[in-house]
Amino acid sequence: MLVKKKKLRLGVFKYSCCAGCEFELIYFQKYIRETFDNVDIIYFRMAKSGGSEEGPFDLVLIDGAITEAWQVDQLKRVRQVARFLLPIGSCAVNGGIPAIKNHTSELDMEKRVYQDITHVHSIKTHPVDDYVQVDGYIKGCPMGRKDLYEAFTSLLLGKRPSFVNYSVCVECKIKGNTCVLISYGWPCMGPVTNGGCGALCPSYNRACYACWGPMEDANAPALARQFEKMGLAPDDIFRRFTQYGSTKPEFRRGAELYGSTTQPF
Amino acid sequence: MDRQPNPFNSKTISIDYLARTEGESGLMVKIAEGGDVQEIKLKIFEPPRFFEGFLVGRKYSEAGDIVSRICGICPISHLTTSLQAVEDAMGIMPSPQTRRLRRLMCVSQVVASHIIHLYMFVLPDYFGYPGFAEMMPEFKKETDYLLAMKEAVNNVAEKIGGRPLNPVSMVVNGFTKLPDRETMLSLAEGIRAVLPMAYETAMMMSRLPYPDLETEGEFAALRKEASGEEERGEYAFNEGRLVSSGGLNLDIHDYFAAFCEQEQGYAQAKKSFLKTGNTYMSGALARVNLKFDQLHDETKKLAQEIGFSRPDRNPFHNNLAQALEIYDGMLESIRLLSEIDPKKEVPSVDIRAGEGVAITEAPRGLLMHRYVIDRRGVIEEANLITPTSQNFANIERDLHLLAARYGQSDDHEALRLKCEQLIRAYDPCFSCSVH
C-alpha cells in the first residue's frame, strides 16, 4: 500500500577491503529476489559488467576503507550524485583491519612488503566519513544483515532507518549469556563495541574482539584501565583497541593510554 | 568505436576495470598486424592493504581473525592456514577431531565459493547477460538451485563457526564451541536435499560452449597419500604434500626451495613461478587432474557422464572441475557430518618461539602462510602467498596463447569476451592476490 513500485537506483563501490560485504550483499540469501525486484543495479562491478559511475543513485553503498587518493576523488564525485550514501562494513565505517597499519609509518609499512616501492601510492587508512557526509552506517565485519535489511526497507517505505545503536553487552543480556569479562576475566571488548552480531563471540565462548567497531560515545579508557587491573600487558591492551576502529576517537582514546597511536591526518 | 573488419589489422583490448571478479584489475592485450601478440598485462590495481606489514607486532592469537579479512570469499582458508602456521611454529599438533572439523569447514567453503562463482560470475558470460541479477527473471530454476545450495552449505559454516564469513569458533588448537550431534546430522540432511541440484549444475556446466585452449604450465596441488588401513588418501585441502604434474613432490616446508615470487611494476600483486622458470596453475582443475583417484566414486561417475577426461589441460574447464568439486564436496560434507560425533575439547596453547609454515587448498588454489613468532607469541615476520598470485603468471601465459590462437579469427568483441571468460575461469581473487 505504502510501497510505491519505483525501483531504487543502486550503486556499490569498492575501495580497500576484502569484498566480503559485497558478497554479503549478493547473497543476501532469502531476500535476494525481493531485493532485485525492487532495485536497479546502476553500478556494481563485482556483480555486473558495464554500468555507469555517473548515477544518479538513490542509494550508494561504499565497501572498503580509503587508502589511495583516487578513491577520495571518486567518492566525492559519487556523493554528489547520490541521494543516500551509506558505508557498509567496518573498513568503510571505521577503517577496520586495514587501519592497523596507521600506527606505523607508511614508509616502513611499504618496505616490509615491497622491495620496489615506487609503484606504491598508499595513504593512511581513512573511514569514508572522513571525506564525505554519510547518511548512516551499516556496521559489521561483514556488515550485519539486520541493518542492511533496515536500510532497504526504510528507503522503499520512505521512512528514517533505525540502525542498531547499543553495545554487544545488551545482546548478551538479551541472550542470557554469562558475562565473560566479569565471570571469566577475559578481555572482552563487548562494553565498547557496537552490537548487531547477536553477541556472537561471547555466545561462542570467547571474548568479543570488536569487529563491528566502536559504539558511539563508548568509554574506551575505562575499559582499558579495567583490562590493566585484570593484569593485561600494556601492549596487549593497545592491540585490543587498535585491531578495529582505531581511526575513531572512541577507540583511539583507549589505545593511546597504552601505546603511541598515529593521528590519521 | 573504430572496429576494423580486416583480420590482419592490429587489435588492442583494453579493460580498465574487470567486472564479476573479486577485487580490482584491468587488462591490456595488444596484437600487431599479422597476429603477433605484443603485450599481455593483467593490471591488478587492487590497493595494497599491507597485511604482511601490520601482522608484524601483532599477537599469534589475533592473526587468524585478522587474516580472515584478506578475502571475503575464502576467509575460512586464510583462517585455517594461519592457525596451522601458528601451530607449526609452536609445535602444536591439533586433535583428530579438530582436524576433521577444519576439513569440514574448508570443504563447505570451497563448495560455497564455487557455487557463487559458477552461477553469478561465469554463467552471465555464456548466456550473454551483464550479471546474474539480470538473468534471474529468465532463469528461475537456476536461481532456485543457487539459493538452495548456497543456504545448505552456508549453514554448515554458520552452525559450526558462528557465521559463514569470518567464523569465530576456530582458534589455535581447536574450536571454542562444538556443535552437537543432532546439529551435525540435520546439516547433513540439508546437504543431502540439495545434492541432486549439484548434479544438475555439473550437467549444465558441461553443456556450455567453452573455447578450446591448452595451458602450457604445470598443475600444482596438495596431495595426501593413504596411510594405515585407508583404501585411498583423502582429497587433500588442509594437509598433504605439494605435488605437480611436472614431478614435484615436496614437504610443504620446502615450498621456498621450489617456488619464488617476483614484483611487477604494473601490478600490485606479486607473481609466483616455479624455480625452473615454469608457470603453474593451481585450483580446481589442478586438484581434479592430480587427485582424480581420490574423488568419491559417485563423482568419478559424474565426471564420466559430463565427458571430463583427465588430464584436462583446457583452463576454461576449471569451471567443469569446480562443478565436480561442488558435487564431491557435498558428498564429503555429508560423510564428515555423519561421522563426526563432537566431543568436548578445550583448546590450550603453550606459547613457544618458532617459525611456522602452512599450505592449504583455498577454493581457487594453493595458499601459503609463513610466520616467525617470538617467545611472547608476537609475530616478527609474516609472508603470505595467495592462490591468485600463484596463478597470475599462468593466466597471462594462457591469455597469450588465447590471443595468438583467436587474435585473427575473432572480431574485437568476441576476443574481448574470450579474454574475460579465461580470466574468470581461473576464479581469481584480486583482493587476496594483493592483500
Residue B229 has pLDDT above 50, yes or no: yes
Confidence label for B232 from pLDDT (cuts 50, 70 and 90) = confident
Q: Which of B54, B71, B158, B376 to mutate to test the interface with A (most CBs of A within 10 A)?
A: B54
The tens digit of pLDDT for each residue in A155-210 reads 888 999 999 999 999 999 999 999 999 999 999 999 999 999 999 999 999 999 99
Q: Phi-psi region for residue B382, left (φ > 0), alpha (ψ -120 to 50) or beta?
A: beta
Residue A9 one-letter amino acid: R
Give the model's pLDDT for residue A265: 43
What does the pLDDT average to over B353-379? Answer: 98
Is the pLDDT at B55 greater than 80? The verdict is: yes
How do residues B27-48 score in pLDDT, each as one tens digit? 999 999 888 999 999 999 999 9
* pLDDT for the residue numbered A29: 57
pLDDT at A1: 47
Question: B71–A16: do the CB atoms touch at under 8 Å?
Answer: no
Contact A30 B151 (CB under 8 A): yes
Quick one: what percent of chain B has pLDDT higher than 70? 98
Search chain A and give the residue with CA nearest B122: A47
Chain A interface test: which of B17, B24, B25, B49 (most A C-beta within 10 Å):
B49
Interface of A with B in 14-73 (CB under 8 A): 14-24, 26-27, 29-30, 32-33, 36, 41, 44-51, 67-68, 71
Looking at this predicted complex, what is its ipTM?
0.95
Q: In the prediction, which pLDDT does B8 show?
A: 56
Any B CB within 8 A of A230 CB: no
The candidate with the shortest Cα–Cα distance to B113, out of B425, B322, B328, is B322
Residue of B nearest to A67 (CA): B47
CB contact under 8 A, A243 and B263: no
Min Cα–Cα distance to chain A from B290, Å = 30
Residue with cell 564420466: B304
State the pLDDT confidence band at B133, using cuts at 50, 70 and 90: confident
Domain A8-157 indexed as CATH 3.30.450.20:
no
Spatial CB neighbours of A154, under 8 Å, sequence gap ≥ 6: A160, A161, A162
| Side chain identity at residue B275, one-letter code | K
Q: Which of B56, B69, B130 sits opposite A48 (nearest CB)?
A: B130
Tens of pLDDT, residue by residue over B141-191, are 999 999 999 999 999 999 999 999 999 999 999 999 999 999 999 999 999
**Binding-face residues of B in 303-362 toward A, CB within 8 A:** none
CB B183 within 8 A of CB B176: no
* B264 Cβ neighbours under 8 A, 6+ residues apart: B270, B271
Question: Cβ of A109 and B19 within 8 Å?
Answer: no
Mean pLDDT confidence for B52-60: 96
- In the stretch 69-128 of chain B, residues with CB closer than 8 A to chain A read 69-73, 75, 116, 120, 124
> Which residue is closest to B168 within chain A, CA to CA?
A201
How big is chain B, counted in residues? 435
CA dist list (Å): A123 to A106, B63, B82, B213: 7, 23, 27, 42
B20 in contact with A at a CB cutoff of 8 Å? yes
Within B318-364, where are the H helices? 318-339
- C-alpha A207: how far from chain center: 19
Report the gap between the CA of B172 and the closest CA in chain A (Å): 13
pLDDT at residue B33, as a whole number: 84
Chain B neighbors of A112, CB-CB under 8 A = 50, 52-53, 56
The highest-level CATH class for domain B51-434 is mainly alpha
Mutate to test the interface with A, among B43, B69, B129, B145 (most CBs of A within 10 A): B69
CA distance A24 to A145: 8
Instruction: Say yes or no for a CB contact (<8 Å) between A204 and B162.
Output: yes
Look at the pTM and tell me if it is higher than 0.80: yes
